[in-house]
């Protein structure tokens, strides 16, 4: 039982981690909690689903379609809704993000209907035993995908010119602009990366639970946000760590405390962490200059 | 008698010691000035006194009471009020309402009194209005009472900040560069106001860059540089102090290089 | 389907942008006109409006559907004004207000149906219980800032809704609790819309008076100070945690009253009436009308409570349109239709927009 829950928690945690990265990257660059991120995760899953059901696309193509589609949505969102508000009070930007979230949820409801769609099983299911823990094929795929994406992201952020420019922009947008970095483009790149990782997570969730529905991004989005805060918002390794911690505590909590309580765990963790260590596990403490 | 006493006060932001090991005493009824080059830690010192930042090491006592653990609003209630270097007026309020906020900690109307507008609340409200208008008159700002405060010119906003601070009925008034950005007649006027404030019984602790003003007005001057107190004494002593001159020359040298 | 919806929403965005721009000008004109009236004339105007309010049910007597809509508008005005205390006065973004609405409604339902208590007692207890929840939630979470607070309140809203669904025999799950009695006073039962009208609008008037009295009091100034600049407010002796908790409690309690009224009016409660989208609707009312502006919030509540009735044909698009509207408001008119600043008078606004060919500026989507 414990082993099973641990593996389940790992899989879930990887998904939260992938989603949390989108939150953390966007927050790092424009200090916005992109509330619509969870819904981009959902849109990505729907794109992938449609490409499978309408065109019989193979899994890998479905992934690419979902991720590409979501990054386009992410870029459009930041360009059309957020860009005009970069200089406005932060709370206006956040309200626009809430608006975007509602828009996406209802857009999906109009296009794909409010019902739950089953994601077709595209792979053969086996059970594996690694280090005494039992994994299903899907769980292995989730873990492997997550690890691959993390490595790619790490390389991109730390080893490429774009990555350096992104980090500069996140640290100080004005200085970055003065140094000749096209900061607007960096914002779009950030949204594109965050959204495509979110979409990947959405597709994995769709496959894991075999369910894709318009409100699927709402809860997962909130939880990924909790994961990002837990790890220290703005920090990419923090998002990974926070995702795993949250996933594992959630599946253990559901197993040993109460399963009806499952969705409450994230919020209790959120409130606790914000009260005890608001900067998160790996975040930096800053004090507002007066 | 010492109204404010700082002992070995240190404030660190990560590795940077913005205030380091500072001892300082402000005597009741005096005008004491704190000077020093940009980034010396003067504003930080004010923030430590008013509880906006926590002291990393050392202690500050006000009228014999250690301020450790007190929140800014507690400290205001104890009798320390301040103005801000980068003016922080309430942007949606009129001049009069800004000043009335200062009276908050001296009034008592509770939730039921406010919601039902009980006679006692109305009475208190009238008193508040009267007191605040007096403060505005004192600063010559009563004619702007109904203007939105942040729409006034810079110099006038500073005066509103002073009126607001006075409305908290403090014993010690901290002024952070009250004459910054003013021309010489305005500065003269500000100096007069500070003198009047001092004459009406308030103790004044002042940060100011204008040396002429500091030397004329202060009973005592303390100098910070890189967070450390490098000198303290009568104005004329400070003017002659080698370390002070070096610190300021050093700054000019830096500015010339920049 | 995908492209059809996309096209519809793009058109909707353009239309909304134009409507928002147009309404902004219209409201600027009206606000300017009212604020520049002499004190005496303004009194007359207010008196006239009062008489209109008293006569309203008789004016609509022929149309029960209309009167019913007016009642719903009244309930939303109470809700929006109570949320405005939190968002508008204290500057604390709360997106879980439906939770307190639900707590009030369920308190009334449980006390009257399960315990057979008198409505008026249940009504008062709904106020108290919702306020108590507001207090208990406010103490830990009001230390959070801005968007963090917003997300914590969303979480609270979800937890309350889940608790109602999973509440077993007490809340009776998704089916809810039917059979809530109408209130009665000295044997007179509120069983027609006209008596409900006077009851609800009496509560509306009380809420409006409470809002104004609070705003113009010492506490109100403290709250606005916190909203404008929390650090400066603290340095001037205002204790933010106290005031924030106070106003959060009061806002929650008033929402509880609205819940009690609504439950008794429709004789029924179930979790579906108190969702996240309900919280969003209340938020939208405040934002549309003008955060912190009492007349604005009333107008915002009225518009958004009536709009769905008028948009029955595009009911499906309702929340998609709300989402768009929120974004467009932030871009085109973040201060709301009747903003706090415009209420203070100022320059005469112009009809600039109508003169210019700015209509073709399709940059908002
Ligand atoms: N909240 C903070 N976080 C980090 N560093 C800070 C903070 N507040 C102040 N500092 C640093 O502390 C040092 C002292 O700053 P302070 O504002 O006290 O200087 P000052 O003497 O008031 O200068 P000025 O004359 O320019 O007003 C500066 O290096 C400043 O960058
Ligand atoms: Mg300074």
Give dist(CA B229, CA B40) in Å, integer: 9
Mean per-residue pLDDT over chain C, rounded: 90
Best residue in C279, C331, C361 to probe A by mutation, most A CBs within 10 Å?
Answer: C331
pLDDT in 10s for each residue of chain A, 290 residues = 788 888 999 999 999 999 999 889 999 888 888 999 999 999 999 999 999 999 988 989 999 999 999 999 999 999 999 999 988 888 889 999 999 999 999 999 999 999 999 988 777 778 888 777 888 888 988 999 999 998 999 899 889 999 999 888 888 888 888 888 998 999 999 999 999 999 999 999 999 998 999 999 998 898 999 999 999 888 888 999 999 999 999 988 888 877 766 777 888 888 788 778 878 887 777 777 87
**Complex-level ipTM:** 0.92
Q: Determine the pLDDT at residue C212.
A: 96
User: Phi and psi dihedrals of C292, rounded to 5?
Assistant: 90, -15
B44 ligand 1 Cβ < 6 A = yes
- Say how many Å lie between the CA of residue B13 and the centre of ligand 1: 9
CA distance C218 to chain B (A): 6
Q: Tell me the C-alpha distance between B78 and B38, whole Å.
A: 30
Closest to C238 (Cα-Cα) out of B105, B69, B97: B105
* CATH pick for B88-169 out of 1.20.200.10, 3.60.15.10, 3.40.47.10, 3.40.50.300: 3.40.50.300
Given this structure, which CATH class describes domain C66-358?
Answer: mainly alpha
B84 CA distance to ligand 2 middle (Å) = 9
Mutational test site, ligand 1, from B12, B33, B43, max ligand atoms within 8 Å of CB: B43
Q: Establish whether residue B85 lines the binding site of ligand 1, counting it when its CB lies within 6 angstroms of any ligand atom.
A: yes
Contact B61, B67 (CB under 8 A): yes
Cβ neighbours, 10 Å, residue B66:
12
CA distance A233 to A279: 7
Q: Which atom of ligand 1 is nearest to the CA of A289?
A: 1
- The Cα C254–Cα C126 span in angstroms is 9
Q: Are A229 and A27 in contact (CB under 8 A)?
A: no
Torsion of CA A94, A100, A101, A103, to 10 degrees: 150
**B247 neighbors B225 (Cβ within 8 angstroms):** yes
Enumerate the β-bridge partners of residue C184: C189
Pick the CATH number of B1-79+171-258 from 3.40.190.10, 3.30.540.10, 3.40.50.740, 3.40.50.300: 3.40.50.300
CA distance C193 to C273: 21
The C-alpha atoms of residue C141 and residue C159 are separated, in whole angstroms, by 15
Q: Is B84 on the interface with A (CB under 8 A)?
A: yes
Check A287 against B84: CB less than 8 A apart: no
Tokens of residue A133, six digits? 């823990």
Tens digit of each residue's pLDDT (9 = 90 or more) over C48-57: 999 999 998 8
How far is the C-alpha of A31 from the C-alpha of A91, rounded, in Å?
Answer: 10
Pairing of strands B31-35, B203-207: parallel
The whole-angstrom distance between C97's CA and the closest CA on chain B is 21
Put simply, whether C238 touches B (Cβ < 8 Å) is: yes
Query: Is the CB of C165 inside 8 Å of chain A's CB atoms?
Result: no
Interchain contact C222–B (C-beta under 8 A):
yes
Residue that the structure tokens 């040993």 belong to: A256
Token pair 């609790």: residue: C177
- Name the residue ranges covered by the structural domains of chain B: 1-79+171-258, 88-169
H-type helices in C142-173, by residue range? 146-165, 168-171
Encoding tokens for residue A120? Answer: 């077709």
- Which residues does residue A94 pair with via DSSP β-bridges, in sequence order? none
C143 and chain B: CB distance < 8 Å anywhere? no
């Amino acid at each position: 039982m414990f082993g099973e829950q641990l593996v389940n928690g790992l899989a879930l945690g990887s998904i939260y981690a992938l989603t949390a990265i989108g939150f953390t990257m966007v927050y790092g660059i424009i200090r916005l909690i992109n509330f619509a991120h969870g819904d981009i995760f959902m849109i990505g899953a729907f794109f992938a689903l449609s490409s499978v059901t309408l065109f019989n696309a193979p899994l890998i193509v479905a992934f690419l379609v979902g991720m590409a589609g979501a990054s386009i949505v992410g870029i459009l969102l930041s360009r059309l809704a957020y860009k005009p508000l970069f200089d406005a009070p932060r709370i206006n930007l956040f309200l626009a993000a809430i608006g975007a979230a509602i828009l996406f949820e209802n857009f999906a409801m109009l296009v794909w209907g409010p019902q739950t769609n089953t994601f077709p099983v595209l792979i053969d299911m086996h059970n594996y035993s690694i280090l005494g823990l039992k994994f299903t094929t899907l769980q292995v795929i989730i873990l492997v995908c997550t690890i691959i994406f993390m490595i790619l992201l790490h390389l991109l952020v730390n080893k490429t010119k774009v990555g350096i420019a992104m980090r500069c922009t996140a640290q100080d947008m004005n200085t970055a602009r003065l140094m000749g970095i096209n900061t607007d483009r960096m914002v779009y790149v950030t949204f594109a990366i965050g959204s495509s990782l979110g979409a990947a997570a959405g597709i994995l969730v769709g496959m894991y639970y075999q369910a894709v529905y318009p409100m699927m991004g709402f809860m997962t989005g909130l939880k990924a946000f909790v994961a990002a805060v837990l790890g220290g918002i703005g920090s990419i390794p923090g998002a990974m760590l926070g995702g795993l911690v949250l996933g594992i505590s959630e599946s253990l909590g559901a197993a040993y405390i109460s399963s009806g309580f499952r969705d409450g765990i994230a919020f209790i963790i959120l409130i606790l962490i914000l009260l005890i260590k608001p900067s998160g596990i790996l975040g930096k403490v800053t004090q507002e200059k007066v | 008698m010492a109204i404010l006493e700082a002992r070995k006060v240190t404030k660190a932001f990560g590795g940077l010691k913005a205030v380091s090991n500072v001892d300082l005493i402000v005597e009741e009824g005096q005008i004491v000035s704190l000077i020093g080059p940009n980034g010396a830690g003067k504003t930080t010192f004010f923030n430590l006194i008013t509880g906006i930042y926590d002291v990393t090491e050392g202690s500050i006592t006000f009228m014999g009471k250690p301020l450790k653990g007190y929140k800014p609003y507690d400290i205001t209630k104890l009798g320390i009020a301040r103005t801000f270097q980068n003016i922080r007026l309430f942007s949606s309020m009129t001049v009069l309402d800004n000043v009335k906020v200062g009276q908050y900690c001296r009034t008592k109307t509770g939730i039921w009194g406010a919601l039902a507008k009980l006679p006692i609340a109305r009475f208190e409200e009238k008193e508040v209005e009267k007191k605040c208008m007096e403060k505005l008159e004192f600063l010559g700002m009563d004619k702007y009472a109904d203007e939105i405060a942040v729409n006034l010119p810079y110099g006038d906003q500073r005066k509103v900040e002073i009126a607001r601070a006075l409305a908290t009925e403090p014993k010690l008034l901290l002024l952070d560069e009250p004459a910054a950005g003013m021309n010489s007649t305005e500065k003269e006027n500000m100096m007069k106001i500070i003198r009047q404030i001092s004459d009406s019984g308030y103790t004044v602790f002042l940060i100011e860059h204008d040396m002429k003003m500091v030397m004329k007005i202060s009973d005592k001057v303390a100098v910070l540089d890189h967070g450390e107190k490098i000198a303290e004494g009568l104005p004329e002593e400070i003017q002659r102090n080698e370390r002070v001159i070096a610190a300021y020359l050093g700054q000019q040298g830096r500015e010339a290089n920049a | 389907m995908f492209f059809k919806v996309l096209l519809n929403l793009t058109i909707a965005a353009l239309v909304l942008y134009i409507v928002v721009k147009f309404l902004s000008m219209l409201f600027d004109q009206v606000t300017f006109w009212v604020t520049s009236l002499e004190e005496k004339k303004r009194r007359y105007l207010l008196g006239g409006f009062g008489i209109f309010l008293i006569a309203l049910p008789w004016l609509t007597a022929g149309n029960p559907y209309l009167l019913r809509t007016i009642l719903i508008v009244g309930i939303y005005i109470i809700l929006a004004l109570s949320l405005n205390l939190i968002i508008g006065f204290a500057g604390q973004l709360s997106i879980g207000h439906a939770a307190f609405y639900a707590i009030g409604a369920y308190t009334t339902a449980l006390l009257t149906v399960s315990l057979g208590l008198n409505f008026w007692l249940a009504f008062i207890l709904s106020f108290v219980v919702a306020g108590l929840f507001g207090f208990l939630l406010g103490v830990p979470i009001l230390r959070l800032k801005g968007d963090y607070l917003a997300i914590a309140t969303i979480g609270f809203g979800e937890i309350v809704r889940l608790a109602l669904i999973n509440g077993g025999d007490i809340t009776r799950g998704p089916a809810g609790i039917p059979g809530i009695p109408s209130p009665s006073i000295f044997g007179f039962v509120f069983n027609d819309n006209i008596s409900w009208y006077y009851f609800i609008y009496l509560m509306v008037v009380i809420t409006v008076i409470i809002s104004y009295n609070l705003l113009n009091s010492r506490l109100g100034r403290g709250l606005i100070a916190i909203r404008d600049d929390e650090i400066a407010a603290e340095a001037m002796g205002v204790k933010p945690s106290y005031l924030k908790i106070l106003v959060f409690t009061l806002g929650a309690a008033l929402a509880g009253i609205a819940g009690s009224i609504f439950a008794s009016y429709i004789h029924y409660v179930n979790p579906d009436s108190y969702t996240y989208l309900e919280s969003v609707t209340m938020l939208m009312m405040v934002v549309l009308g003008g955060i912190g502006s009492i007349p604005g919030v009333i107008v915002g509540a009225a518009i958004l409570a009536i709009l769905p009735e008028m948009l029955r044909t595009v009911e499906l698009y309702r929340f998609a349109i709300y989402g768009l509207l929120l974004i467009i408001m932030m871009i085109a008119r973040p201060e709301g239709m009747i903003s706090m600043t415009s209420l203070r008078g100022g320059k005469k606004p112009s009809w600039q927009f109508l003169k210019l060919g700015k209509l073709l500026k399709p940059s908002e989507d």
